[in-house]
């Protein structure tokens, strides 16, 4: 077990186990060999595919709906089957990761992505499309839990945060490119969806070929007893310099860890029985849960609706506006990559969450003001379908009823001649009868609004949306993945990441599938106030429970969780940076301030 300072217990007679790399001790800035960047790039292609395949479907759905005649159930199935399959395979990926290693898992994921892309591109029917979407989902799940672990295990500690966060950059980059591809191909008259969906096979094949030549994680090799190979790989990724100290340090930690967490019980039970790993798992899963509860995917999947509400009415433009939203998410993730090893994980996450909560409140306020000033309904035409739509007096309840839409005229300053009529349920961009039933675009100042009401508070909603992405992306969008790749000891890393990624995907499905229903019951402002409330809960959780892992060697992070849960947020990383072990009773050496750990077995000195 580690001590309170975040350092594992040294063995008898062990001294100065944690040594800075030679160039650091010589006072130079540590250098990251370019080979590590190559590894990070090829593995982060897994993140790109994760982003591409979750992002591409919204744009592909527009032509798909028409060409395959999809009803609502099939549309929902094609969107959520991928996320559902990712939840299942990320949980199963933990076992594969421990058994076959990171490299083989990445190869499997890229192979699955390639096959999935081919199935989607050639699909002759909606059933085959579903098989393709499930297939890519299986790939996403494995990639989402393996890639951050692999990058963390090959990175030097001083740059680990930045390199792992590149994977998140690739996720949002994948979402952004997907929306651009959707936009570009939407001009094709036929089969545009085939190109949109199949293109993911290109980076998948590239990753597969790359990983045939790239090495396995040295930490996994060591754990599997392939010591010589582990030493060679470590030397390669440290630019050929001597790695004996680091190698020995990793090896001793693995032996210690295995002794402490020993037993033949399944890993998940050992994680739950062992205090530090149990606490790390709670923190890791909590972070992933709060990432999704902050509502990112309601914004990503429904940004077109939200922007429509903000006054942008042209349906065809929606696809490009989604690109603007995901572009914003991507640009601000870049800021996260820059900040993570400067600010540290804790400050970045806390700052991001505060801003996310405030922006959600602003978004909600925008919706509230829009609702309070929603235009009233002036025309009540006789409804041949006898629907509930004709009962409403203002646009607000009409918009919240999924069966109805708002048909109105606008002369630039005011809304007039407004009615609430049933929406065409197969193509909600039109009314099912009446003056708004045969045109999807404005003509003679006549408009059809499904899911939104015309408002003069659109700027507030737009501002809220932009601020939301600007705050969410650099911290909450990236840190849950980064922190999870670091906080588990090697024996628990695969399973820990599998569980936390599973939690991420499960809450992703939950939040995105329930959003429209939640909005129907609570209204849009109610839904966004609810997400803001959940963010406040998340803030307390992170404030109390998330320790700083910046700059620490992976093997030393477990002991950050040795105290009671939610006492670990209190320590600062700099307290732990320059620490050496000395033997108990040994008193020689420079001036020091010393202390004993809770077990009384380790003394430390902090070099200033």
Binding site for ligand INS (CB under 6 A): 168, 171-172, 175, 291, 296-297, 300, 329, 477, 504, 508
Report the distance separating Cα 74 and Cα 87, nearest Å.
Answer: 20
* Residue 464 C-beta: closest distance to ligand INS, Å: 17
Q: Which residues contact 155 (CB under 8 A, 6 or more apart)?
A: 32, 36, 40, 163, 164
How many CB atoms are located within 10 Å of the residue 441 CB? 12
Q: Which contiguous run of DSSP H or E holds residue 511?
A: helix 490-545
291 vs 418, beta carbon nearer ligand INS: 291
Report the distance separating Cα 471 and Cα 468, nearest Å.
Answer: 5
**Residue 436: CA count within 13 A, CB half-sphere:** 29
50 vs 208, beta carbon nearer ligand INS: 50
The distance of Cα 411 from the centroid of its chain, to the nearest Å, equals: 43
* Residue 103 C-beta: closest distance to ligand INS, Å: 23
SS3 1: coil
Q: Could you tell me which of 77, 198, 83 has the C-alpha nearest to residue 139?
A: 83
483 vs 557, beta carbon nearer ligand INS: 483
179 vs 580, beta carbon nearer ligand INS: 179
Q: Bridge-partner residues for 407, per DSSP?
A: 419, 448
The helix/strand count (H/E) of the chain reads as 20, 5
Q: DSSP letter string over 537-556?
A: HHHHHHHHH----TT--GGG
10 Å CB burial of residue 544 (0-12, 13-18, 19+) is middle
Residue number, nearest CB to ligand INS: 477
* Residue 477 C-beta: closest distance to ligand INS, Å: 3
* Residue 167 C-beta: closest distance to ligand INS, Å: 9
* Residue 3 C-beta: closest distance to ligand INS, Å: 33
308 vs 329, beta carbon nearer ligand INS: 329
Backbone angles phi, psi at 418, to 5 degrees: -100, 145
* Residue 480 C-beta: closest distance to ligand INS, Å: 7
Report the distance separating Cα 199 and Cα 202, nearest Å.
Answer: 6
Cβ contact 116:136 at 8 Å: yes
* Residue 501 C-beta: closest distance to ligand INS, Å: 9
* Residue 488 C-beta: closest distance to ligand INS, Å: 19
Lookup: tokens for 242 = 């001597």
SS3 359: helix
Q: Are strands 404-410 and 446-449 parallel, antiparallel or unpaired?
A: antiparallel
220 vs 531, beta carbon nearer ligand INS: 531
* Residue 597 C-beta: closest distance to ligand INS, Å: 36
């Amino acid at each position: 077990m580690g001590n309170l300072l975040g350092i594992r217990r040294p063995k008898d007679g062990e001294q100065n186990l944690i040594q800075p790399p030679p160039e650091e001790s010589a006072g130079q800035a540590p250098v990251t060999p370019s080979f590590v960047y190559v590894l990070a790039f090829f593995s982060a292609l897994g993140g790109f595919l994760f982003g591409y395949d979750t992002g591409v479907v919204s744009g592909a759905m527009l032509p798909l709906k028409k060409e395959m005649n999809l009803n609502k159930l099939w549309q929902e199935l094609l969107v959520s089957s991928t996320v559902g399959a990712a939840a299942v395979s990320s949980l199963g990926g933990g076992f594969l990761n421990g058994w076959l290693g990171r490299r083989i898992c990445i190869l499997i994921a890229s192979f699955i992505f390639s096959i999935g892309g081919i199935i989607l591109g050639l699909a002759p029917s909606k059933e085959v499309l579903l098989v393709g979407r499930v297939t890519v989902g299986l790939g996403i799940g494995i990639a989402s839990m393996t890639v951050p672990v692999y990058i963390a295990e090959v990175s030097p500690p001083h740059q680990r945060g930045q390199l792992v966060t590149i994977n998140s950059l690739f996720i949002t980059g994948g979402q952004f490119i997907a929306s651009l591809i959707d936009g570009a191909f939407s001009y094709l008259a036929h089969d545009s969806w085939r190109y949109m969906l199949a293109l993911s096979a290109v980076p998948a094949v590239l990753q597969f070929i790359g990983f045939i030549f790239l090495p396995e994680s040295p930490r996994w090799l060591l754990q599997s007893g392939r010591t010589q190979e582990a030493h060679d790989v470590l030397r390669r990724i440290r630019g050929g310099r001597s790695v004996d100290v680091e190698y020995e340090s990793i090896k001793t930690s693995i032996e210690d860890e295995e002794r402490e967490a020993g037993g033949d019980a399944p890993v998940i039970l050992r994680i739950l029985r062992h205090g530090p790993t149990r606490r790390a798992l709670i923190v890791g899963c909590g972070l992933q849960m709060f990432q999704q509860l902050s509502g990112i995917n309601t914004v990503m999947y429904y940004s077109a609706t939200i922007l429509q509400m903000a006054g942008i009415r042209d349906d065809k433009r929606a696809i490009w506006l989604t690109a603007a939203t995901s572009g914003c998410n991507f640009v601000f993730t870049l800021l996260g990559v820059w900040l993570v090893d400067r600010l540290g994980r804790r400050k970045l996450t806390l700052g991001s969450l505060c801003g996310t909560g405030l922006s959600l409140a602003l978004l909600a306020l925008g919706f509230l003001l829009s609702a309070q000033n929603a235009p009233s309904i002036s025309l009540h035409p006789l409804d041949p379908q006898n629907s509930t739509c004709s009962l409403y007096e203002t646009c607000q309840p009409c918009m919240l009823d999924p069966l109805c839409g708002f048909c109105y005229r606008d002369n630039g300053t005011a809304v007039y001649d407004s009615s609430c009529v049933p929406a065409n349920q197969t193509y909600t961009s039109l009314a099912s009868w009446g003056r708004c039933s045969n045109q999807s675009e404005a003509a003679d100042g006549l408009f059809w609004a499904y899911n939104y009401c015309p408002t003069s508070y659109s700027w507030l909603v737009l501002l809220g949306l932009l601020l939301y992405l600007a705050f969410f992306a650099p911290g909450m969008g990236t840190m849950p993945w980064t922190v999870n790749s670091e906080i588990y000891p090697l024996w628990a890393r695969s399973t820990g990441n599998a569980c936390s990624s599973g939690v991420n995907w499960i809450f992703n499905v939950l939040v995105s599938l329930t959003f429209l229903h939640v909005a129907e019951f609570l209204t849009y402002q109610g839904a966004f106030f609810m997400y803001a409330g959940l963010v406040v809960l998340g803030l307390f959780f992170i404030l109390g429970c998330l320790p700083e892992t910046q700059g620490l060697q992976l093997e030393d992070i477990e002991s950050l969780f040795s105290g009671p849960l939610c006492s670990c947020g209190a320590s600062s990383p700099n307290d732990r940076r320059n620490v050496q072990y000395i033997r108990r009773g040994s008193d020689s050496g420079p001036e020091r301030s010393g202390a004993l750990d809770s077990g009384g077995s380790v003394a430390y000195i902090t070099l200033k």
